[in-house]
């Protein structure tokens, strides 16, 4: 019960009032929105009654339509090794995100009275926001991924206030779908003049042992004749320590508080404390802030690598772009939680926010669920990758953007490393070396406790120039053949696989003959799920595994990527239609591809993995060679086709694939049952799995990831839709067109089938199955009650699932 209380208190503190001294009002509803330039929309008396009403977070471009002409780029992608320019479609998702738009919100602040301090906080605005309050410009920013705030104390009024935000997205500004709009939270903070400054609490844990931890808390404040009382609460909400401090150094209180027998944070034990800081002026409470933190120790040491709480820990990580597939970039905590739940089951322990600032929601979840986090800032410095990219802002904004990144997120125990850049072309030349040093120094100044990396693809150049040597953590993107040399020539004594694999595949699609090949393309614009296809610059997963397993100085990897994302449809960026990536371990709908089980078989060390591919519906391929792969944590297994043994395969060191997969290359297809029996080292059967040939699609089957969701108007249930034949066997090649209807206390939010070539719109209640599956996302309303999702399809037995909502 106590636990619940503190959790509630925290929730309240980030959304609404939690005490009289400070209010945080999220501006989420009743926004007016319109696309297009409008020179008077900043004015208070502007008539926006005809504009669309939206809620924020909002992504204006996700509703499409897809169009190959949008942001069509005639470029040579130099970092992909291209020398001749060609026409690229779908690079930024082919969704209408280019142009200007306005958001307006009229709000009142009942807690406001003259003399109060008021901050307007944006957690991201895509992009180049210009912000007006009551007709006057109060500030602007540039980078769409930054958190930023303005002090609006002078411009706010009692009664009604009108906020107007102009956003503009240029063409040729991104290498992926950036989204568009106020896609993260906007809030107004009302507090006293005497108060704790924005992001003013900094908590570190410089000394930790079994008996005690020293918790260092720096609190940046405004006011005189003040003192600070800090109380530390454990995860149950019980007070474990407190300290009152009268002495201020400049604007800062510094406290060192002892916590006995600390419960240390780690991915396995994501234990969180909360610091309650209360600021008093002449014994009157003036401000109060709650900050969650973890007690944990991180170290990076030559030849040992990364250790967490004294335990050597390898990063079993994935890179993630910020879009949430069919929801676009509008941040949603339930969608993020689902992603992390899927990744956790895979055994993943780390996330890299490529190539920009993560949402605060994602960091909160990583703290709670136990993920290590590599927080990245930029994909570009001063030298462009794309014409209108961050290079336009670098000189003016880079320092400000890093300061805000660090200040806003530094108390998250999940963050264990910063990244100042990804494959920046500034890797070439002395100016780039200086920039790398300058950026790293800013990170160090703002946060002396965490190291800084850069994802480097120009490994030879960075060895020569000293660029790689100066970094705290040398990160290599791909280039498995250069790890050894980099380790020898760089002084740090370890290498991070900051980006690995970039293997491509389409869920449920298999191509014959089964051969390993880079940049392989097929007429249907899909990639094979035998997991042997990568890019000219990248590799298949097994090649990374060899390095991870054999070289103790390789401190882990971040696979490109955990989920497919909108844009960058390599190897089909010159083909249309193709509008989303093939790199994901999971597809755009969040459904696992076969590769999921390959990673799971080595990363999840507690649960059994035994997965067969391909599916066994190959009408017309009877008698033809149809290799069978098994991804498993067991070392050997026997395969049977309709009861006939295909022999025993055992993992061996002949090739990287032989080490991590069991492969029967000569199986001839015949319909029926494919069965694998896993064997222990004594040759005894320990587990088995079957895949059967399915008949005609007969019936729709629905399986929600969560049956009970919160009635908060935001929570989501993801319902996987598949079809089975008369015997209940899943039909892996079904492509039926389905229709969705949601009634009761929820709404239909989106559907996605994971097909990178589909131009069907996510928000319309109909979609085709892809490889026999799709996922429907149902969102709660703010009222309690049941939700019904009905799915129908021509010639198929329909299905209904009932969900319910709670407070």
Query: Is residue 87 within 8 Å of residue 72, measured between CB atoms?
Result: yes
740: left (phi over 0), alpha (psi -120 to 50) or beta: beta
Q: Least separation, in Å, of the C-beta of 382 and ligand GAL?
A: 18
Instruction: Give Dmax (Cα) for the chain.
Output: 88
Q: Least separation, in Å, of the C-beta of 124 and ligand GAL?
A: 19
Q: Mark 60-89 with x for binding to ligand GAL (rule: CB under 6 A) and - for no binding.
A: -------------------x----------
Contacts of ligand GAL in 407-426 (CB under 6 A): 422-423
70 by Cβ neighbours in 10 Å (0-12 / 13-18 / 19+) ranks as buried
Closer residue to ligand GAL in complex, CB, 313/356 = 356
Q: CA 770 to CA 723: how far, in whole Å? A: 11
Q: CA 473 to CA 278: how far, in whole Å? A: 38
Closer residue to ligand GAL in complex, CB, 423/670 = 423
Contacts of ligand GAL in 638-677 (CB under 6 A): none
Query: Is residue 454 within 8 Å of residue 477, measured between CB atoms?
Result: no
Size of the site for ligand GAL (CB under 6 A): 12
Among 496, 499, 185, 203, which Cα is nearest to 362's?
185
Known catalytic residue: 423? yes
Q: CA 726 to CA 191: how far, in whole Å? A: 64
Out of 560, 631, 718, 748, which residue is the one contacting ligand GAL (CB under 6 A)? 560
Contacts of ligand GAL in 457-476 (CB under 6 A): 457
DSSP sequence for 602-635: HH--SS--EEEES-S--TT-TTSB--EEEEESSS
**Using rule CB under 6 A, residue 539 touches ligand GAL:** no
Query: Is residue 776 within 8 Å of residue 791, measured between CB atoms?
Result: yes
**Using rule CB under 6 A, residue 563 touches ligand GAL:** no
Closer residue to ligand GAL in complex, CB, 367/564 = 564
- Residue, CB closest to ligand GAL: 502
Among 12, 168, 77, which Cα is nearest to 569's?
77
Q: Least separation, in Å, of the C-beta of 644 and ligand GAL?
A: 41
Closer residue to ligand GAL in complex, CB, 15/575 = 575
Q: Least separation, in Å, of the C-beta of 435 and ligand GAL?
A: 18
Reported as half-sphere exposure (CB side, CA atoms, 13 A), residue 702 has a value of: 25
What separation in angstroms does the CA of 166 have from each of 14, 148, 173? 25, 15, 18
Q: Least separation, in Å, of the C-beta of 467 and ligand GAL?
A: 16
Contacts of ligand GAL in 134-163 (CB under 6 A): none
Closer residue to ligand GAL in complex, CB, 191/321 = 321
Q: Least separation, in Å, of the C-beta of 797 and ligand GAL?
A: 42
- Other C-beta atoms within 10 Å of 74: how many? 9
Closer residue to ligand GAL in complex, CB, 107/537 = 537
Out of 201, 353, 502, 717, which residue is the one contacting ligand GAL (CB under 6 A)? 502
Q: Least separation, in Å, of the C-beta of 478 and ligand GAL?
A: 7
Out of 427, 477, 693, 758, which residue is the one contacting ligand GAL (CB under 6 A)? 477
Facing residues of 279 across strands?
228, 287
Query: Is residue 783 within 8 Å of residue 712, measured between CB atoms?
Result: no
The catalytic position among 128, 376, 423, 446 is 423
**Using rule CB under 6 A, residue 535 touches ligand GAL:** yes
Q: Give the number of residues written for the chain.
A: 807
Known catalytic residue: 638? no
Query: Is residue 722 within 8 Å of residue 773, measured between CB atoms?
Result: yes
Q: Least separation, in Å, of the C-beta of 432 and ligand GAL?
A: 16
Out of 499, 531, 587, 730, which residue is the one contacting ligand GAL (CB under 6 A)? 499
Contacts of ligand GAL in 570-609 (CB under 6 A): 570
Closer residue to ligand GAL in complex, CB, 57/178 = 178
Q: Least separation, in Å, of the C-beta of 538 and ligand GAL?
A: 5
Q: CA 637 to CA 125: how far, in whole Å? A: 52
Q: CA 181 to CA 338: how far, in whole Å? A: 23
Closer residue to ligand GAL in complex, CB, 504/724 = 504
Closer residue to ligand GAL in complex, CB, 585/803 = 585
The catalytic position among 364, 446, 499, 760 is 499
DSSP sequence for 15-81: HSEEETTEEEEE--S-EEEEES--TTTTSTT---TTSEEE-SS--TTTT----TTTT-EEE--GGGT
Tell me the catalytic residues: 423, 499
Residues near ligand GAL (CB under 6 A): 79, 422-423, 457, 477, 499, 502, 535, 538, 560, 568, 570
């Amino acid at each position: 019960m106590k636990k619940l209380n503190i959790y509630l208190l925290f929730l309240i503190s980030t959304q609404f009032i939690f005490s009289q001294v400070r209010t945080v009002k999220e501006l989420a509803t009743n926004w007016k929105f319109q696309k297009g330039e409008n020179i008077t929309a900043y004015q208070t008396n502007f008539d926006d009654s005809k504009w669309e009403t939206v809620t924020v977070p909002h992504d204006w471009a996700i509703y499409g339509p897809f169009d190959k002409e949008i942001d069509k780029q005639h470029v040579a992608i130099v970092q992909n090794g291209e020398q001749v320019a060609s026409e690229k479609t779908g690079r930024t998702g082919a969704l209408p995100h280019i142009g200007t738009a306005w958001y307006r919100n009229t709000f009142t602040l009942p807690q406001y009275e003259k003399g109060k301090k008021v901050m307007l906080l944006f957690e991201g605005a895509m992009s180049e926001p210009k912000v007006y309050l009551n007709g006057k410009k109060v500030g602007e920013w540039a980078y769409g991924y930054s958190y930023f705030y303005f002090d609006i104390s002078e411009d706010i009024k009692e009664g009604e206030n009108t906020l107007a935000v102009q956003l503009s997205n240029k063409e040729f500004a991104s290498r992926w779908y950036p989204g568009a709009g106020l896609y993260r939270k906007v809030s107004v903070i009302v507090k006293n003049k005497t108060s704790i400054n924005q992001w003013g609490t900094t908590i570190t844990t410089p000394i930790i042992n079994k008996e005690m931890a020293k918790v260092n808390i720096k609190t940046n404040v405004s006011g005189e004749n003040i003192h600070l009382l800090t109380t530390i609460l454990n995860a149950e909400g019980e007070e474990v320590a407190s300290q009152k401090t009268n002495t201020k150094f400049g604007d800062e209180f510094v406290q060192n508080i002892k916590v006995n027998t600390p419960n240390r944070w780690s991915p396995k034990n994501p234990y969180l404390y909360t610091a309650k800081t209360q600021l008093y002026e002449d014994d009157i409470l003036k401000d109060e802030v709650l900050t969650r933190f973890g007690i944990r120790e991180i170290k990076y040491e030559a030849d040992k690598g990364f250790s967490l709480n004294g335990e050597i820990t390898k990063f079993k990580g994935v890179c993630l772009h910020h879009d949430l597939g069919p929801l676009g970039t509008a941040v949603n905590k339930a969608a993020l939680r689902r992603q992390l739940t899927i990744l956790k089951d895979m055994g993943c322990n780390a996330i890299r926010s490529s190539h920009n600032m993560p949402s605060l929601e994602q960091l909160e979840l990583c703290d709670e669920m136990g993920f290590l986090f590599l927080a990245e800032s930029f994909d570009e410095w001063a030298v462009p990758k794309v014409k209108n990219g961050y290079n336009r802002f670098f000189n003016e904004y880079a320092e400000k953007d890093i300061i805000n990144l660090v200040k806003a997120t530094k108390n998250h125990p999940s963050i264990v490393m910063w990244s100042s850049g990804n494959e920046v072309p500034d890797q070439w030349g002395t100016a780039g070396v200086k920039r790398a040093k300058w950026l790293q120094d800013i990170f160090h100044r703002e946060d002396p406790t965490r190291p800084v990396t850069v994802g480097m693809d120009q490994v030879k150049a960075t060895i020569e120039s000293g660029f790689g040597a100066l970094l705290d953590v040398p990160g290599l993107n791909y280039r498995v053949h250069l790890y050894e040399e980099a380790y020898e020539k760089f002084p740090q004594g370890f290498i991070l696989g900051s980006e690995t694999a970039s293997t491509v595949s389409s869920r449920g699609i298999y191509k014959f003959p089964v051969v390993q090949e880079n940049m392989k393309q097929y007429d249907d614009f899909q990639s094979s799920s035998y997991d042997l296809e990568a890019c000219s610059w990248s590799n298949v997963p097994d090649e990374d595994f060899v390095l991870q397993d054999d070289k103790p100085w390789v401190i882990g990897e971040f696979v490109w990527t955990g989920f497919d994302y909108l844009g960058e449809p390599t190897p089909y960026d010159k083909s249309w239609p193709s509008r989303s990536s093939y790199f994901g371990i999971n597809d755009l709908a969040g459904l696992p591809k076969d590769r999921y089980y390959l990673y799971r078989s080595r990363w999840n060390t507690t649960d059994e993995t035994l997965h067969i591919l391909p599916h066994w519906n190959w009408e017309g391929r009877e008698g033809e060679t149809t290799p069978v792969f098994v991804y498993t944590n067991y070392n050997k297994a026997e395969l049977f086709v309709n009861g006939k043994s295909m022999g025993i395969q055992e993992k061996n060191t002949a090739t990287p694939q032989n080490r991590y997969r069991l492969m029967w290359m000569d199986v001839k297809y015949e319909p029926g049952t494919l069965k694998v029996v896993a064997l222990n080292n004594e040759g005894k059967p320990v587990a088995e799995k079957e895949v059967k040939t399915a008949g005609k699609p007969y019936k729709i089957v629905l399986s929600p990831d969560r049956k009970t969701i919160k009635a908060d108007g935001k929570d989501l249930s993801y319902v996987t839709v598949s079809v089975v034949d008369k015997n209940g066997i899943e039909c892996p090649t079904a492509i039926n067109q389905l229709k969705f209807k949601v009634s009761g206390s929820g709404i239909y939010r989106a559907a996605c089938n994971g097909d990178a070539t589909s131009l069907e719109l996510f928000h319309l209640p109909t979609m085709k199955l892809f490889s026999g599956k799709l996922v429907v996302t149902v969102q709660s309303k703010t009222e309690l009650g049941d939700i019904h999702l009905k799915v129908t399809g021509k010639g198929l037995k329909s299905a209904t699932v009932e969900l319910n909502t709670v407070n």
